[in-house]
Amino acid sequence: MTLIVLDAGHGPETPGKRSPDGKLREFQFNLAVAEMVGVRLTREGLNVRYVHENSRDVPLSERTAAANRMKADAYVSIHANAHTSGWSEAQGIETYIYPAASKSSAILANLVQQSLIAACKRLDRGVKKANFAVLRDTQMPAILAECGFMSHKTEAVLLQNKVYLLQCARALAFGILNWAYQK
């Protein structure tokens, strides 16, 4: 059975991970979406595990080590983006892979990015490469999805909207399922 590890990026008390007006903490968004994605994937027959905790900031090395021990088939880290600590014009959705990522990671990232754009109707910032620990230190296909900017006034409101959270969760699950059925 395909095992997907979900990571509600950052933690409940990670400094600075909030909207400029303080109304949204990134972990609130990440956690809600990760839980909805997990329910959908489980319903479709995939095995889902989480590497975050609701009560503490789990170190990145601990998250990736856990996924590696589980021999997960894929690692998906869910985030809300920010451009600066104040309001910014930067907006849209982007998905990251490691610069030396496997072809399978690139396929997963593209499927998730296309699904998020189709469902959420936000600016398509594309699939990008970055040397993030959760992408670099995992031994399976891994992606990091940024579902909108907390530092953009319109998207900050969306990131607190239950309908938008559900759109993101459905899109992430759809992309992951498409990838899982192709492998």
Backbone angles phi, psi at 156, to 5 degrees: -60, -40
Distance between CA atoms of residues 42 and 50, nearest Å: 12
Residue 16: per-residue pLDDT: 78
Backbone angles phi, psi at 118, to 5 degrees: -60, -40
* 78 in Cβ contact with 172 (< 8 Å): yes
Q: Which two tokens stand for residue 152?
A: 């953009």
Distance between CA atoms of residues 17 and 9, nearest Å: 10
Distance between CA atoms of residues 48 and 38, nearest Å: 6
Residue 15: per-residue pLDDT: 79
Give the torsion through C-alpha atoms of 69, 74, 79, 82, to 10 deg.
Answer: 100
Nearest Cα residue to 10 out of 129, 181, 146? 146
Domain of 33 in residue numbering reads as 3-182
Split the chain (183 residues) into runs of 10 and give each run's mean pLDDT: 95 86 94 98 98 94 98 98 93 98 98 98 98 98 98 97 98 98 87
Residue 50: per-residue pLDDT: 98
Residue 33: per-residue pLDDT: 98
Domain tally, the chain: 1
Write the CATH number for 40.
3.40.630.40
pTM: 0.97
Question: End-to-end CA distance of the chain, in Å?
Answer: 12
* 164 in Cβ contact with 158 (< 8 Å): yes
Residue 30: per-residue pLDDT: 97
- What residues are paired with 48 via a beta bridge? 4
Distances in Å between the Cα of 31 and the Cα atoms of 52, 84, 107, 126, 137 are: 9, 22, 24, 23, 22
